[in-house]
Amino acid sequence: MKYMHTADFKKELEELKRPVWEKIQEYLPEKEPEGHYAMVREYPKRQGKYFRPGLVLLATEMFGGEREKALLTAAAMQTSEDWLLIHDDFEDHSEERRSTKDEYRPALNQIYGDELAVNAGDGLHIIMWKMLGDTVRFLGDEIGWKIYDKMYNILLTTTGGQYLELDWIRKGKVLTSEEEYYKMAYCKAGYYTVTAPLELGAMTAGILKNKELKKIENWGVPFGLAFQIWDDVMNVTVESSAQGKEKGGDILEGKRTLLLSHLLKNCAPIEKDCVISIYLKPREKKSAQEKEYVLNLMEKYGSIDYAKSIARGFAQKSIEIFDKNTAYLPDTKAKQTIRAGISFVVNRDR
């Protein structure tokens, strides 16, 4: 197999964005009430990295399908991210979303208030199901309904993972084991971000048997965990203007991460008590100094380097299983790109 550079994956992802965005625009209403639909269009217009829809298209091609047949499914995948983020930003009390170095972009609920923002998220949610219904009509009953059912399972799993995290915060459970973190992270983000888009793409190409989809899951699980752990690392190491959200926001929002788990196991007892007391505070009661205190401790005790090493270990495991489980497939550009994507997720800085 040829080995593609991780920079090529990023470039390919950018090229895949255009046709998906064009498809999404076909479904974004411009009608009355004008204010509501302006809010519905806001997060889609901010355009994320399109990692998930990119994987849908690449997996379709890798398994022998046509990219054009997967565009609507990819559009639904991206739209699901946009409405989930609107709701997440409300639930997590986030302050910004997809800012750029030139423009600060507040979270939707920071602009319009919680009620109208959540309602706009509901609107996008409904649009996503319309896309999936049209996918059934476009691809036919056998493949279309399986994709529809798969998306139902994807979102049910994702909200279950979100519950685990929010419940820990609500109940004041700061001490979590690595195993608990892995379960939450995969349910909330790893499955949704990696395994699910890959399976949707494979299904679009006609791979419908559970046995074949399970082979994707074997390397998708470590791929997804690598993605999420590195995401957590970037949150505390990358400046806000580069990552599009507040640096250290996970600390302010009380996110239970692998970095936090490692820190609490390795810091001094008095520091441990202080960190726990900070995490038990609601966001509005936490100070910038307290955030910096936790960040400095994560550096002091090697929690950031530890999380990086675990993420890279998962990525390496994923590559090894990927090479084995896809050996029968032709060495296409799509296959090379997906493989490069596994390395990309643990080498990115935004």
pLDDT for residue 239 is more than 90: no
Please report how the helices 210-237 and 303-325 are oriented relative to each other, as an axis angle in degrees rounded to 10.
160
pLDDT of residue 4: 65
Provide the residue range defining the domain that includes 17: 10-326
- Rounded mean pLDDT, 65-80: 97
Q: How far apart are CA 275 and CA 110, in angstroms?
A: 27
pLDDT of residue 59: 98
Which CATH number characterizes residue 128's domain? 1.10.600.10
% of the chain at pLDDT higher than 70: 96
Has residue 345 been placed in a domain?
A: no
Rg of the Cα atoms in the chain: 20
pLDDT-derived band of residue 5, with 50, 70 and 90 as boundaries? low
* β-strand partners of 106: 96
pLDDT in tens, 44-53: 999 989 999 9
Has residue 3 been placed in a domain?
A: no
Has residue 334 been placed in a domain?
A: no
- Rounded mean pLDDT, 105-128: 96
- List Cα–Cα distances, 295 to 112, 259, 286, 349, in angstroms: 31, 10, 13, 17
205-212, long-range: CB < 8 A, 24+ apart: 205/59, 205/60, 205/61, 205/62, 205/63, 205/64, 205/65, 205/70, 206/63, 206/64, 206/65, 206/143, 207/63, 208/142, 208/143, 208/146
Has residue 145 been placed in a domain?
A: yes
pTM summary value = 0.93
For 25, other C-beta atoms within 10 Å of its C-beta total 13
pLDDT in tens, 162-207: 999 999 999 999 999 999 999 999 998 899 999 999 999 999 999 9
Instruction: Provide the domain count of the chain.
Output: 1
pLDDT of residue 64: 97
Look up residue 151 and give its DSSP letter.
Answer: H
Has residue 62 been placed in a domain?
A: yes
Q: How far apart are CA 146 and CA 55, in angstroms?
A: 18
Has residue 1 been placed in a domain?
A: no
Has residue 2 been placed in a domain?
A: no
